[in-house]
Structure 1
């Protein structure tokens, strides 16, 4: 039986987490690994697990790589997932069932990080009136914004809005997609019967330099999406708050946190990137 789901996972030096991720994927999904110029064993591990592998010679960013993976298949559903996830039993089947019950919707599962629940209550691209107030929900319901670590969506809806914005290298691509889906009449929902464990921030190997680059990408993406959606952004105030955070004790004594904040401050200068640390 042909799988109903094309599962797209983007890797960049993700060998330390990829085997655990792949081991939790059931047979109802066709796995496509899009590798963003890894120098570790990500590709070898993916091939050994029987996944379809698409290698990209340079790191084009998360959203662009997802678009490449999505274009390579034709299953009616897309599952866009980070490699630092672990699917709980029945999660993907529950997402398919939720989509059958709500055909005009895109979905998140319930996110956990160990015993801690994770839930996106708001986005800077949404008015405060749309924010989620209260405890994270456990039941099927409408939500304000999708968490990009695991998005389940009909291929037709993804293609209708043009997929991820390829001008966004990393960060806020899920906010942007959420806004465009909402405008297109696609409801954003939580599939309460689906759960994943997310080792947040472990998709790629960590280093001080990678932290700086991710911080810069975050700053650039913030400026880009706020301008794109005509949302106010006081860049000088944003930069001031960032410099103030550098004085926090847990930042002051952490070179990794300092590096990421300094990268973010620099990224507020704006402009997309087409690879880690390189401007177009």
Structure 2
């Protein structure tokens, strides 16, 4: 198995992440222009480091990391994840039992369960109904924090869409895998802890950049898959969110919403250029 982790100023979380990776897993760190100690931490841990030199976006960096490996299974994971004991072994077992599938683990943030029930790219009839599953099963969409799939399937669908800088790249990959006849499944015995939102150091500036990327990506993937996006309605809902106390009192969240509003107006014709 090749493990690909994309970093951008991820030094604060990377060491703990790498300690949770079993020694037999080949780890490829693709660094998107970090200015902190990310590269030094990865090098000291013995990981292979690919320095992109600039922030080319999550999907593009994943493609670079995948191309640097040779294993039949590829694991894409965020650096703010921690693998529970036996998680990697459980992935390998699930892949052996279901050779025509891509997988998510069971994801927790502390004691809180994380499970993607829906995607903007799927009709409501295909959204997950009821409680999050605790057993192996087919799921509607993959959560991008941790994905395992066969290299042949990843190559068959052309990898991640490099036009998506950040956000909704997992939705897009999920749809294309489904269209190629690949099942999306939960590997229930694989457990991870995801300290969500902490892959990179937080600031109002980084939040603004992420919000803009989210807006642009939403416009792009909806048009790519032939779906209607009511942009005025998106704007109205976003402005209403500013009234929430947890937004009003936090600069980073306000900055992200402002970035999202700006990204909605840029549209897919603009390039998803490099960000710092």
TM-score, normalised to structure 1's length?
A: 0.96
In the alignment, which residue of structure 2 is the partner of 1:151? Answer: 147
Segments of structure 1 that go 5 or more residues without pairing to the other structure are none
Task: Report the Cα distance in structure 2 between the residues aligned to 1:177 and 1:195, rounded to whole angstroms.
Answer: 22
Task: Report the Cα distance in structure 2 between the residues aligned to 1:38 and 1:252, rounded to whole angstroms.
Answer: 30
Task: Report the Cα distance in structure 1 between the residues aligned to 2:23 and 2:244, rounded to whole angstroms.
Answer: 47
2:65 equivalent among 30, 54, 69: 69
How many residue pairs are counted as aligned between the two chains? 273
CA apart distance, 1:249: 2.1
In the alignment, which residue of structure 2 is the partner of 1:195? Answer: 191
Alignment of 1:245-256 (within 5 A): 245-256=241-252
1:40 equivalent among 31, 36, 40: 36
In the alignment, which residue of structure 2 is the partner of 1:276? Answer: 275
Q: Tell me if 1:212 matches 2:208.
A: yes
Q: Tell me if 1:88 matches 2:84.
A: yes
2:263 equivalent among 258, 264, 267: 267
SS across alignment from 1:46: helix
1:31 equivalent among 27, 31, 38: 27
TM-score, normalised to structure 2's length?
A: 0.97
CA apart distance, 1:256: 1.2
Task: Report the Cα distance in structure 1 between the residues aligned to 2:17 and 2:246, rounded to whole angstroms.
Answer: 31
Deviations 1:70-103 (A, max 9, x none): 0001100000000000000010110010000000
SS across alignment from 1:117: strand
Task: Report the Cα distance in structure 1 between the residues aligned to 2:3 and 2:177, rounded to whole angstroms.
Answer: 20
CA apart distance, 1:276: 2.2
Task: Report the Cα distance in structure 1 between the residues aligned to 2:54 and 2:115, rounded to whole angstroms.
Answer: 32
CA apart distance, 1:232: 1.1
In the alignment, which residue of structure 1 is the partner of 2:169? Answer: 173
Task: Report the Cα distance in structure 2 between the residues aligned to 1:253 and 1:43, rounded to whole angstroms.
Answer: 34
User: 4+ runs of 1 displaced by more than 2 Å?
Assistant: none
CA apart distance, 1:149: 0.6
Task: Report the Cα distance in structure 1 between the residues aligned to 2:101 and 2:29, rounded to whole angstroms.
Answer: 25
SS across alignment from 1:275: coil
Q: Tell me if 1:97 matches 2:93.
A: yes
CA contact (8 A) 2:219 2:229 kept: yes
Task: Report the Cα distance in structure 1 between the residues aligned to 2:144 and 2:25, rounded to whole angstroms.
Answer: 19
CA apart distance, 1:177: 0.1
CA contact (8 A) 2:54 2:275 kept: no
SS across alignment from 2:11: coil
Task: Report the Cα distance in structure 2 between the residues aligned to 1:173 and 1:274, rounded to whole angstroms.
Answer: 15
CA apart distance, 1:201: 0.4
Q: Tell me if 1:56 matches 2:73.
A: no
Segments of structure 2 that go 5 or more residues without pairing to the other structure are none
In the alignment, which residue of structure 1 is the partner of 2:225? Answer: 229
CA apart distance, 1:109: 0.3
Q: Tell me if 1:134 matches 2:130.
A: yes
